[in-house]
Structure 1
């Protein structure tokens, strides 16, 4: 989604709930970043947030078809000091803060794969369905100072069909310490040849079945991405959030017959009730 849409969305949400309680009255989140949800209110023990998200997104990676999807949002969390264990959707993970400026995270989740039916226009016919598979993500964020105004991010994702790496730089806006406000990030993404061909390659059998040219990709640079996050407490329990994501593909990926758009985009809004 284009930058202007994400910014306009955040401005509208902020104006709508301008009269709500100050976020500064709340307890400190593990890190004050809107992109890292924390429902614990700074306390040790169990926390729960449940809600819904409405997303307008690409039908599959490289698609020129877009659709609306409604998904559950929130997580079950357990906090002990500077460590949070969580279950969110199909992901189970841990994150921990060290020395006020280092955030580590490890997550085990699932890749839903791609189905021929993901394209209503039949663009994936003959390419076959991909099975859902497990993936492991390891992440390290380093803040330039304890208020997390600016930060660097490194991430590795490994799954059955390949590996992906990400390097990002981000900035948060506002003085909130409860994980609300605005945040932007710019990322460079790399992948190995196995993952590149899983998402955008076409082998001989798929070529014969689909009529698309056989395509084999090498690993390396995948894309440059932009991410915007917004989070806001309406009152003591209700939280609004928004996100916009844009990923511009490398020239090799753009040349794949699977790639109908030179980018992937998503914008979403939702609400969560924090118990």
Structure 2
């Protein structure tokens, strides 16, 4: 009986240790959010994920034209503890976890700007091409618990073409801790007058060239929206991700002749290979 009890204790201990090891192995992401690329598998050092995505989206802010666009996906990352430095496309940045419930991020990116040719129907003719420029993005998420089930999010985008702010709440679905699953965010977006008129304003010169009414948009609420992010780990190397966004413009934005639609929307899917 004593031998049987000892054997049972060993088996239970092994089972407990196996489950603990599995849980530790599962938590490979710095935070378990599908929207946050993390290719490090929980280890310090370099990591690389490369892939391709395709999006079906509006042609420009306020457009009623839709089209497909193929973009590269993934990033080169370097992790040290709860800090990840990364280079992704036209952006370089840092992401850090603090006190298990604060996710802070800073990045510098390049904004390409709008072009007259973005409208196949000629709705932008006479408006000229928008200015390109660098943007600084600062973001903070604060979770209500360490499992990142619910959180608040704030984001500031500032650059040569004005400032934009975003505030919202988010929720993660599923119990995975490896960064896979489904995530949803409900947000309100605000802009200053410079940023607003970059997309929806029409100067006197542009009005004369395009035939559209001269328009000046003031600072304030830009839109309210919801976005979804999904990620699935097919195996140790392959990931599939998806995203969808719907943004409903404020009444002042909708009054601009450039806003031929009351909303902006996009949906996308892609694959990433983690080296």
Tell me, yes or no, whether TM beats 0.5.
yes
Determine the C-alpha separation between the residues in 1 that align with 2:23 and 2:241: 14
Q: 1:12 — aligned with what?
A: none
Q: Give the TM-score taking structure 2 as reference length.
A: 0.91
Determine the C-alpha separation between the residues in 2 that align with 1:173 and 1:249: 27
1:177-196 aligned at under 5 Å gives the runs 177-196=177-196
Kindly indicate whether residue 60 of structure 2 is the aligned counterpart of residue 64 of structure 1: no
- In the alignment, is the contact (CA less than 8 A) between 1:166 and 1:187 conserved in 2? yes
Kindly indicate whether residue 265 of structure 2 is the aligned counterpart of residue 270 of structure 1: no
Q: 1:15 — aligned with what?
A: none
Give, in angstroms, the shift of residue 23 of structure 1: 9.6
- In the alignment, is the contact (CA less than 8 A) between 2:109 and 2:135 conserved in 1? yes
Give, in angstroms, the shift of residue 51 of structure 1: 0.2
Q: 2:213 — aligned with what?
A: 213
Larger RCO (CA under 8 A, 6+ residues apart): 1
Q: 2:4 — aligned with what?
A: none
Q: CA RMSD in A?
A: 1.2
Moved over 6 A (4+): none
Determine the C-alpha separation between the residues in 2 that align with 1:79 and 1:122: 46
Determine the C-alpha separation between the residues in 2 that align with 1:120 and 1:146: 48
Kindly indicate whether residue 169 of structure 2 is the aligned counterpart of residue 169 of structure 1: yes
CA shift digits 1:41-90 (9 cap, x unpaired): 00000000000000000000000000001110000000000000000000
Determine the C-alpha separation between the residues in 1 that align with 2:62 and 2:273: 34
Give, in angstroms, the shift of residue 274 of structure 1: 0.4
CA shift digits 1:176-220 (9 cap, x unpaired): 111100010000000000111111000000000000000001000
Q: 2:201 — aligned with what?
A: 201
Decide which structure has the larger Cα Rg and report it.
2
1:49-128 aligned at under 5 Å gives the runs 49-128=49-128
Determine the C-alpha separation between the residues in 2 that align with 1:222 and 1:118: 21
Task: Give the paired residue count.
Answer: 254
SS in 2 for 1:228: strand
Give, in angstroms, the shift of residue 161 of structure 1: 1.3
CA shift digits 1:221-268 (9 cap, x unpaired): 100010000000011100000000111000000010000100010100
Q: 1:250 — aligned with what?
A: 250
- In the alignment, is the contact (CA less than 8 A) between 1:24 and 1:176 conserved in 2? no
SS in 2 for 1:225: strand
Q: 1:152 — aligned with what?
A: 152
**Contiguous gaps of at least 5 residues in structure 2:** 1-21
Give, in angstroms, the shift of residue 112 of structure 1: 1.1
Determine the C-alpha separation between the residues in 1 that align with 2:182 and 2:194: 35
Kindly indicate whether residue 139 of structure 2 is the aligned counterpart of residue 139 of structure 1: yes
- In the alignment, is the contact (CA less than 8 A) between 1:193 and 1:217 conserved in 2? yes
Determine the C-alpha separation between the residues in 1 that align with 2:28 and 2:87: 21
Give, in angstroms, the shift of residue 131 of structure 1: 2.7
Q: 2:9 — aligned with what?
A: none
Give, in angstroms, the shift of residue 159 of structure 1: 1.3
Determine the C-alpha separation between the residues in 2 that align with 1:190 and 1:132: 21
- In the alignment, is the contact (CA less than 8 A) between 2:28 and 2:40 conserved in 1? no
SS in 2 for 1:252: helix
Kindly indicate whether residue 228 of structure 2 is the aligned counterpart of residue 228 of structure 1: yes
